[in-house]
Amino acid sequence: DVKVTQSSRYLVKRTGEKVFLECVQDMDHENMFWYRQDPGLGLRLIYFSYDVKMKEKGDIPEGYSVSREKKERFSLILESASTNQTSMYLCASRPGTGSSYEQYFGPGTRLTVT
């Protein structure tokens, strides 16, 4: 079974703090994604990565950065957390093109910025 794990289920941070959200997948997937999920807005893509050290902006990258130094790990960084970044953050991974299209999601990290 594919497993995508996220470092924290719940996180509370203060405005202005630098926040790291970690995601690890164990199936050697090339592609990894970070989404945020807000009521009424569905899942919105923040960043994705199709290879180590490669990254692409999604629909809402402002205020976020990412790092992928190893294939299995994809980190989301909030450089200076703000209250409007309070949300559920979901990480996902997917095999490279040519195989299954399915995205596998982690359990999510609920971040509260006060």
Partner 1 sequence: GENVEQHPSTLSVQEGDSAVIKCTYSDSASNYFPWYKQELGKGPQLIIDIRSNVGEKKDQRIAVTLNKTAKHFSLHITETQPEDSAVYFCAATYGNQFYFGTGTSLTVIP
How far is it, in rounded angstroms, from Cα 74 to Cα 49?
8
Is residue 103 close enough to count as binding partner 1 by CB under 8 A?
yes
Q: Count CA within 13 A, CB hemisphere, residue 43.
A: 12
Is residue 107 close enough to count as binding partner 1 by CB under 8 A?
yes
Is residue 32 close enough to count as binding partner 1 by CB under 8 A?
no
Q: Give the number of other Cβ atoms within 10 Å of residue 38's Cβ.
A: 12
Q: How many residues bind partner 1 (CB under 8 A)?
A: 27
Is residue 2 close enough to count as binding partner 1 by CB under 8 A?
no
| 34, 44 Cβ separation under 8 angstroms | no
Window contacting partner 1 (CB under 8 A); options: 14-22, 33-41, 60-68, 77-85: 33-41
* Subset of 55-94 contacting partner 1 (CB under 8 A): 56, 58-59, 90, 92, 94
Sheet with 73-78: strands ordered across: 4-6, 19-25, 73-78, 64-70
Q: From the list 40, 53, 62, 69, which residue makes contact with partner 1 (rule: CB under 8 A)? A: 40
Handedness of CA 6, 45, 13, 38 (dihedral sign): negative
Q: What is the contact surface with partner 1 in residues (CB under 8 A)?
A: 4, 31, 33, 35, 40-45, 48, 50, 56, 58-59, 90, 92, 94, 97, 101-108
